[in-house]
Amino acid sequence: MMSSAPALTLSAVVRTYRQGEATLSILRGADLTLWPGQSVALVAPSGAGKSTLLHVAGLLEKPDGGEVYVGNAPTAAMGDPERTALRRTAIGFVYQAHHLLPEFTALENVVLPQMIAGLTKREAGERGTELLSFLGLGQRTGHRPAELSGGEQQRVAIARAVANAPGMLLADEPTGNLDPRTADHVFATLTSLIRATGLAALIATHNMDLAARMDRRVTLQDGLVVELD
């Protein structure tokens, strides 16, 4: 069931880069609305601007024009400290590489961001254990990343991304390094998590089979977001 307020709204977003004397226009007035509990696949060729769109949506880059609303909050005029604080509480990120801390266990990797956000070690541990169990890793919480398979590592990364209960999850090719069977399993657990928590998820992927199982599919054409289907 959709909330009355979007989790993310991109309104006429412009993003350009300077390359020597040239100006490269990546986003040219992009619009996108992402609702709670909804999974949206972002499918486009390499170089079309998928990562740029995710970076702007995730407040990692400022737009050169337009507005990015996280919930109902406009963010374009925010300073870096405000953007960082909002990003930490409202947005989770999953990348193609899991970026787990190798010296820490699966549970510790999920606990750390929660403790940075102010939870006690006990509270963070309980939530981390619950998340990892939900993702099928209840027996692997004490293992370090090197002792986990690629699919298990990526599921730990997903648990870490949602540990602080963000309203929105942004994922950039989250199954890109995995074999098809493992990718399917990781995607299934991610979809279950989205439905169980009401997360809004924007997932960049080249995998059209996975994209077909999401609620919506969008692409980038000439710097604009275009709905598919």
pLDDT in tens, 184-210: 888 888 888 888 889 999 999 988 888
Provide the pLDDT for residue 189: 87
Give the pLDDT mean for 46-51: 88
Mean pLDDT, rounded, for 28-57? 93
User: Does the domain at residues 38-63+79-227 carry the CATH identifier 3.40.50.300?
Assistant: yes
Q: Which residues pair with 90 in a beta bridge?
A: none
Quote the CA–CA distance of 158 and 93 in Å, as a whole number: 8
Measured distance CA(150)–CA(193) in Å, rounded: 19
Separation of alpha carbons 110 and 47, rounded Å: 32
> For residue 46, which of 96, 1, 83, 103 has the smallest C-alpha distance?
96
